[in-house]
Amino acid sequence: MSLLVVGLSHRSAPVSVLERASLAADQQTKLVQDSLAAEPATEATVLATCNRIELYADVDKFHAGVAELSTLLAQHTGVGLDELTPYLYVHYEDRAVHHLFSVACGLDSMVVGEGQILGQIKDALALGQELHTAGRLLNDLFQQALRVGKRAHSETGIDKAGQSLVTFGLEQLAGDTPVADWAAGRRALVIGAGSMSSLAATTLARAGVAELVIANRTLDRARRLAESLTGLVAGARAVPMERVSAELPHADVVVSCTGATGLVLTADMLREALDRRVEHRAEGAAGPGVAETVALLDLAMPRDIDAAAHRLAGLRLVDIESLAEAAADEPMAADVDQVRAIVSAEVAAFGAAQRAAHITPTVVALRTMAADVVAGEIARLDGRLPDLDERQRAEITQTVRRVVDKLLHAPTVRVKQLASTPGGAGYADALRELFDLDPQAVAAVSRADANGTRSDGGVGRPGAAAVQTDPKRGRA
């Protein structure tokens, strides 16, 4: 295993850099494809969220891998390498596994303990599988990360340490008032219909907003989301993105999270909406529940809402940058220590399993060679003793197989145990050297295993007699 992670997040880089480094879906695809095309990488995928972008790869050479992946991140994000480098972090092998498992448990999130990262990890794995750039290592790694994250949430109270970014953002807007009390009776506008926007819409509906408008470039998607919320809020409806300007003056709460590369709400749009809002008040058309201040929550990266909104009277803007500052002051829950212990144990188990799996092709190749030897000796015995009946021949064959299997059982079991320990990778080389195994035969087993063919230590192939394991002792 030569797992390498190169990335940046809210912990290593300011929001201004993260914003510039964000990648659209098609850019993520191209980054992964180019990473695999790079010489040091044999597997690759990317984990991209609103506050991190990380490139995962299985590399042949550490230093060349770091240089190549860093360069690719700079090229695809458009941030110069010299400017990007100070904010990049690098994790290798077990430290890389530890990092992803920590991320999966929410320990590295802006809001500690949030569970949305599991869906984003699943997306990263799906991208690698779809592009056929995730091989055995990344498939095992990301699937295990998902299991570790779910274990942390089910076995500990890490959920109490933090909430989703949506809930945390709404709490920042609500201040000392409970979100349900603050949101009750307000008119809400949600821009976007992706996973984060959907969560925001659902949260607001459950909090008791009087009206909920969902704007999206794909109107059908907005309609499906609005229809799913009709049981929670009576006034849920969908509008095309072109209607945002018309809806703004009526909204008390605006949540925006789109994949747009430019601003969705400019300062001029907001200023005009505020002016029209004042006019509606003067005309008595604003409605009795209208709020004095419009609350804006920007969860997009890059940002959807012009930062100049901070300077406009009548608006309160909470964005990723202000959320990062607020999250830094949040106390850590006692359950975090328990989650860290889970992560450490899971990293050790994953490393042991990977090291043990590394020696399996060598063990299989050894048993295949032994099966060939048995088959050859039985064939020669047939030539020397052609008068053996079937019962005698079968008994001799079974005896020879048992002898060979018992001789191989202890060393193959022991070498797997030794290989699973730190620094145990050399045992596979020692086994190949001692038994003069053909490297190509070992490589062929590795390729078959990577393609899903059985490689669990059992032996047998067309034309070769199989060496059976002792059922009382189990499979080596």
50 assigned to active site: yes
Non-local CB neighbours of 180 within 8 Å, separated by 6+ positions? 207, 208
Which pairs with CB-CB distance under 8 Å and at least 24 residues apart come from 426-432?
427/359, 428/358, 428/359, 428/362, 431/359, 431/362, 431/363, 431/366, 432/362, 432/365
CA atoms within 13 A on the CB side of 268: 1
Non-local CB neighbours of 170 within 8 Å, separated by 6+ positions? 179, 182, 183, 200, 203, 204, 207, 297
Q: Which of 3, 50, 97, 445 is catalytic?
A: 50
Structure tokens at 4: 């390498």
Specify the amino acid at residue 364.
Answer: V
Taking CA atoms, 470 is separated from 365, 369, 376, 458, 466, in Å, by 19, 18, 22, 11, 13
Nearest to 141 by CA among 109, 187, 98: 98
Q: Which residues pair with 293 in a beta bridge?
A: none
Question: Mind telling me the catalytic residues?
Answer: 50
